[in-house]
Structure 1
């Protein structure tokens, strides 16, 4: 990224230096050259960077020169000396409910963006992202191969600053991370509609802003969609005086092209509220025929989620992050269940570079119609070398050890019998990795 950013600066400096011998330069000329370099750096540096959610391009963005390279990645290796490398309770609903630190797969998302400004002031962006996440543990059911290659996750165009009365109104079309919201410690995307379509964002209503889009779910990373569609809406940044509220309302449906005939007549909807105050957040979400996405279209399924998460800077060196969640799932078969999980991550920064984290996680899955309870716990100790002193500072080198256990009284049915299968797995894993967003 640094090389990409410095390319236009290098060209500019080269052109200046080429116009006169360096040894003949006066102090004033050197000062002027330094100032020019700083101006060019300012044009290259921008707040327009990678985000897990869709990027909101502000109308007053200072248009950077060249291509913006941004992304997220975590790569490394982990040695497992026990039953399983990672710790999870079977049937968990709340993402990586035992906690993600030292308990997740590797991969990355690599994004190229270009910002343009027309003569009349409209600001456009073009964004391409590929990802690299394929892992054997993520194969689709029945799959015999995984290519482990790159997938196109974004390719869209958008424009803002079209109307004087609505400068922040942003129109988009293409393929994007869409309405992707998550809690961090359990890496749970509790509303997500990544896909292809179009719409608008940030329509100013006076008391908040409104988003509305139509998207189709991508057909297994191919060019077209798979016949599942959603109309998504979000009323956001509602000021409650010391707190902020976001409201989500989404509707899902299918066309006759969908392969699963039993889903063609199913309709789904989601309603969710997200209340944020002083670094803390409360999430409440209900889904009918849907759980995390209106694309689900699962007949006779209802999901209800309550989640709280937050962060405290206890002292200048000590910090504490947490998430606690409850989710119930009612389905047509006998696997109705509830998932309770809590993840705690205290951290201490020894200086501006070195820090230590400890993450504690516990997840419990309680089945209603099956006499079974699945439990999992883990402890991860991580010694970090970071770009800065804060818990969110990246890039980060991480050396960690994870200890845990999953005790599953129900881990599915045997292939040709109704016999309940069980599992009891220990985890002892040591690893080294990096994580970065830029």
Structure 2
């Protein structure tokens, strides 16, 4: 049986390789993103943050985040039947150490349906429903993982993306059904989209680190996320997102992260203004409200209101050099449902970053880019009666391709 299995596998591989040679493109695609460098950290702090924050890097991401990168390889195929395919694989490293993770490995294709030739059907491990804000480096939607889905399915007035995905492969298993309706034209200058997810699966009810290590699991309640985006063509976006039964920490919003009775509201206005030909200002305004969230100080629950204001003026000196300045303010006001913290206590902070850049081109998004930066921050955590100020300085490169 084993010999027959190997024989069939070899025969299949030979047949597949011969057919692939007729339809595969000659080019291998190399793609990725990287942000690496070295920095000096006063008092050993690599990030300046307000304790209790729950909506990303609320003081601003410029000169105030970790380093890492991801890169992948891909290949395109065109079938005699007219279908167009791609296969891709990507690894990443975001730990600051040497751990390399398999981030993506998928295959997908278009022109599979005569009635919907632009619809893209995919399966595998894939980035999915990822929506990120650049200034506060926050994924306000994130459903990457193992799954199957279709993107860009034409329903006439709207385009639909939908998927069934799995966050982890072992026990407990966490799943989500996602849907996104986009490219809805409200006016010539305004687009609208709506997205959502329902999460389901199992949760651990015994500690696998003690006893016989087998653990016990039970089905958890479903939870959900619902969001909308108003996209103005003049460079501004209004984003609104609500979650029930979700506690996503402070880096991503997803029904993968289940917590009974937790609720969250996220509202963000982000965009930019062109001041002169070589000068513009990017901005972000965030309001967040959460109840029964897990607290990073170890208490079971906490309620809080959060605001974040970030502005980033940028000036282009010539076709290679630019200077950016970022100023951020963040405040977390605690509610009554927080162990060990008084109702109404406030944690707040400010951060300023100056960064000079040398880039491959003369426009704002030119990459690769070399940057030298200095960051200063001052944080007052009244809830725990602590204050800190810190200085961070460094040199890095950033690239995407």
TM-score bracket relative to the smaller structure? 0.7 to 0.9
Normalization by structure 1: what TM-score? Answer: 0.77
Change in CA separation of 1:259 and 1:393 when aligned onto 2, cut-off 3 Å: farther
Change in CA separation of 1:389 and 1:248 when aligned onto 2, cut-off 3 Å: same
Taking the aligned partners of 1:119 and 1:150, their CA distance within structure 2 comes to 37
CA deviations on 1:64-108 (whole Å, 9 max, x unpaired) are 632111100011011123462321001111101111100011110
Contact 1:361–1:379 under 8 Å retained in 2: yes
Change in CA separation of 1:374 and 1:88 when aligned onto 2, cut-off 3 Å: same
Taking the aligned partners of 1:76 and 1:409, their CA distance within structure 2 comes to 33
Does residue 348 of the first structure (1) align with residue 323 of the second (2)?
A: no
Moved more, 338-347 or 309-318: 309-318
| Residue segments in structure 1 that go unaligned for 5+ positions in a row | 1-62, 136-146, 411-420
Does residue 194 of the first structure (1) align with residue 150 of the second (2)?
A: no
Contact 2:360–2:367 under 8 Å retained in 1: yes
Does residue 231 of the first structure (1) align with residue 186 of the second (2)?
A: no
Taking the aligned partners of 1:422 and 1:296, their CA distance within structure 2 comes to 30
Q: Tell me which of 311, 320, 331 is aligned to 2:292.
A: 331
Q: Partner of 1:301: helix, strand, or coil? A: strand
Q: Partner of 1:78: helix, strand, or coil? A: strand
Does residue 375 of the first structure (1) align with residue 321 of the second (2)?
A: no
Q: Tell me which of 383, 408, 422 is aligned to 2:381.
A: 408
Match of 2:277 in 1: 316
Contact 1:115–1:126 under 8 Å retained in 2: yes
Match of 2:370 in 1: 397
Taking the aligned partners of 1:225 and 1:244, their CA distance within structure 2 comes to 41
Does residue 289 of the first structure (1) align with residue 256 of the second (2)?
A: no
Q: Partner of 1:303: helix, strand, or coil? A: strand
Q: Which has more strand, going by share of residues?
A: 2
Match of 1:280 in 2: 236
Taking the aligned partners of 1:134 and 1:362, their CA distance within structure 2 comes to 27
How many residue pairs align between the two structures?
Answer: 351
Taking the aligned partners of 1:368 and 1:263, their CA distance within structure 2 comes to 31
Q: Partner of 1:66: helix, strand, or coil? A: strand
Taking the aligned partners of 1:245 and 1:209, their CA distance within structure 2 comes to 11
Taking the aligned partners of 1:71 and 1:428, their CA distance within structure 2 comes to 30
Taking the aligned partners of 2:225 and 2:45, their CA distance within structure 1 comes to 35
Taking the aligned partners of 2:281 and 2:363, their CA distance within structure 1 comes to 11
Match of 1:85 in 2: 46
Change in CA separation of 1:422 and 1:124 when aligned onto 2, cut-off 3 Å: farther
Task: Using the TM superposition, give the Cα deviation of residue 392 of structure 1 relative to its aligned residue in structure 2, in angstroms.
Answer: 1.7
Change in CA separation of 1:256 and 1:183 when aligned onto 2, cut-off 3 Å: closer
Contact 2:203–2:218 under 8 Å retained in 1: no
CA deviations on 1:366-408 (whole Å, 9 max, x unpaired) are 1012332111211000010012222222111000110111211
Contact 1:235–1:246 under 8 Å retained in 2: yes
Task: Using the TM superposition, give the Cα deviation of residue 267 of structure 1 relative to its aligned residue in structure 2, in angstroms.
Answer: 1.3
- What is the root-mean-square deviation in Å for CA atoms of aligned residues? 1.9
Taking the aligned partners of 1:104 and 1:86, their CA distance within structure 2 comes to 6
Contact 1:84–1:425 under 8 Å retained in 2: no
Task: Using the TM superposition, give the Cα deviation of residue 316 of structure 1 relative to its aligned residue in structure 2, in angstroms.
Answer: 1.5
Task: Using the TM superposition, give the Cα deviation of residue 351 of structure 1 relative to its aligned residue in structure 2, in angstroms.
Answer: 0.3
Contact 1:217–1:225 under 8 Å retained in 2: no
Change in CA separation of 1:380 and 1:340 when aligned onto 2, cut-off 3 Å: same
| Residue segments in structure 2 that go unaligned for 5+ positions in a row | 1-23, 208-215, 248-252, 294-299
CA deviations on 1:153-176 (whole Å, 9 max, x unpaired) are 100110111123211111110001
Q: Partner of 1:218: helix, strand, or coil? A: coil
Change in CA separation of 1:215 and 1:97 when aligned onto 2, cut-off 3 Å: same
Change in CA separation of 1:113 and 1:295 when aligned onto 2, cut-off 3 Å: same
CA deviations on 1:145-195 (whole Å, 9 max, x unpaired) are xx6310001001101111232111111100011101011110010011111
Task: Using the TM superposition, give the Cα deviation of residue 201 of structure 1 relative to its aligned residue in structure 2, in angstroms.
Answer: 1.2
Taking the aligned partners of 1:238 and 1:266, their CA distance within structure 2 comes to 32
CA deviations on 1:263-314 (whole Å, 9 max, x unpaired) are 7322100110011012110001100001510111100000011101012232
Q: Tell me which of 165, 170, 180 is aligned to 2:120.
A: 170
Change in CA separation of 1:246 and 1:225 when aligned onto 2, cut-off 3 Å: farther
Contact 2:172–2:217 under 8 Å retained in 1: no
Does residue 246 of the first structure (1) align with residue 193 of the second (2)?
A: yes
CA deviations on 1:232-253 (whole Å, 9 max, x unpaired) are 0000111111211110121001
